[in-house]
Amino acid sequence: MVLFAGYAPAATKTASKSPRHGHHKRKASWKKKGQQAINSERATQIQQALIREKYLTGEPTGSWDASTQAALVKYQGDNGWQTKVVPDSRALIKLGLGPNYSAELLNAPPKTSSAGAPSTTASRGIEGTAEKQ
């Protein structure tokens, strides 16, 4: 048998005392992601819009209660959208509570820091090489 420098036989592993199968620790409870509840300010906004559209009666309470949820489900169903309790983004937009995409914001000129200056160092580098030739 020839042994080489730096060669050592593999160490044998001793059997572990704990069984490997069937005894896994459980992870912490599953955590929900995303928005879990509607805050009172947003609930008030939704209620005001539903009252305006005649899907809810009375005064806004700021509470995300069963009558508010039922009114929103009916509104979404009447528009052919899903009827989950969570507000559909299309419903919020149609109620006037979505993002503001007004013509003034869409047609506004872009903000620039300096007019006429190159925007990247790469464009400056190209101009510099053209001058040297």
Per-residue pLDDT, 96: 93
Domain ranges (residues) in the chain: 37-99
pTM to 2 decimal places: 0.52
Is the pLDDT reported for residue 103 higher than 80? no
Structure tokens at 91: 């419903």
pLDDT per position as a tens digit, 37-65? 889 999 999 999 999 999 999 999 999 99
Per-residue pLDDT, 30: 74
Does residue 107 or residue 16 have the better pLDDT? 107
Backbone angles phi, psi at 129, to 5 degrees: -75, -30
